[in-house]
């Protein structure tokens, strides 16, 4: 039998090492690093990874085989459309929305950002246009910090598109009292 302290990962409730320096529970540094590696390996072949990379054939093949629903979230709480929007992968966004019916109302688990927030952060003019054409109401949706997509705009052109779609957004403060602004 292996006597290594990392041969079996236990729950933190089973752990007796208060500082988690020499234990093998999920709070130990070694277990955290090990579990992240496994998640990253699994993620490499996932639909979200294909969408993030802009791999059109991978996205189509994955969805045609029926392995996952188009709106399925990964362990991080993101779905394929959120990844494709953030990375400006227009063709993948079109495929997910138009061919497979991806929901434009999906949100990230932690900040509750929608796909337009993600496109604004990524600075993709084309994806921003697509999303606004499909659902202009996305521009008026705030995340948990009160940020509208216009607060997240990372380019002047995206900022202008969002301001045109939702003029009140330019006057809306987030929870920190900040107005949206764009400076190069």
pLDDT of 47 above 90:
no
Q: Are 72 and 103 in contact (CB under 8 A)?
A: no
Task: Using pLDDT thresholds of 50, 70 and 90, give the confidence band for residue 175.
Answer: very high
Q: d(Cα 30, Cα 11) in Å, to the nearest integer? A: 14
178 located within any domain: no
Which pLDDT score is estimated for 18?
A: 54
56 located within any domain: yes
pLDDT of 36 above 60:
no
User: Sign of torsion, CA 157 161 164 168?
Assistant: negative
Q: What percent of the chain has pLDDT over 90?
A: 57
Q: d(Cα 173, Cα 175) in Å, to the nearest integer? A: 7
Q: Are 55 and 91 in contact (CB under 8 A)?
A: no
Token pair 């996305």: residue: 138
CB atoms within 10 A of CB 37: 10
Q: How many domains does the chain have?
A: 2
pLDDT, tens only, 93-128: 999 999 999 999 999 988 999 999 999 999 999 999
My answer on whether 152 and 162 are in the same domain is yes
Q: d(Cα 107, Cα 137) in Å, to the nearest integer? A: 14
pLDDT, tens only, 63-83: 887 756 787 777 677 889 999
Token pair 């045109």: residue: 164
Token pair 């138009």: residue: 98
176 located within any domain: no
Residue range 21-25: mean pLDDT, rounded? 49
184 located within any domain: no
Residue range 5-27: mean pLDDT, rounded? 45
My answer on whether 6 and 53 are in the same domain is no
Token pair 């090492």: residue: 17
Which CATH number belongs to the domain containing residue 153 in this structure? 1.25.40.20
My answer on whether 131 and 116 are in the same domain is yes
Domain membership of residue 161 as a residue range: 45-171
Q: d(Cα 101, Cα 95) in Å, to the nearest integer? A: 8
Token pair 């979230």: residue: 73
Burial status of residue 68 (CB atoms within 10 A of its CB: 0-12, 13-18, 19 or more): middle
- Closest listed residue to residue 104, CA positions, set 129, 132, 66, 124: 132
My answer on whether 78 and 134 are in the same domain is yes
3 located within any domain: yes
| Model pTM score | 0.73
């Amino acid at each position: 039998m292996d006597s290594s302290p990392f041969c079996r990962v236990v729950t933190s409730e089973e752990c007796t090492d208060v500082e988690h320096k020499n234990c093998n529970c999920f709070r130990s540094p070694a277990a955290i690093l090990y579990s992240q590696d496994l998640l990253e390996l699994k993620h490499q072949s996932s639909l979200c990874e294909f969408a993030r990379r802009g791999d059109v054939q991978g996205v189509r093949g994955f969805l045609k085989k029926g392995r996952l629903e188009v709106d399925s979230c990964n362990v991080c709480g993101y779905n394929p459309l959120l990844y494709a929007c953030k990375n400006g992968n227009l063709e993948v966004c079109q495929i997910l929305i138009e061919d497979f019916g991806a929901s434009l109302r999906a949100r990230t688990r932690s900040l509750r950002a929608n796909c337009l927030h993600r496109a604004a952060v990524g600075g993709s003019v084309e994806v921003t246009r697509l999303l606004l054409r499909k659902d202009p109401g996305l521009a008026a949706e705030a995340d948990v910090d009160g940020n509208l997509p216009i607060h997240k705009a990372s380019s002047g052109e995206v900022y202008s598109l969002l301001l045109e779609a939702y003029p009140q957004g330019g006057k809306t403060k987030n929870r920190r009292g900040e107005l949206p602004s764009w400076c190069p």
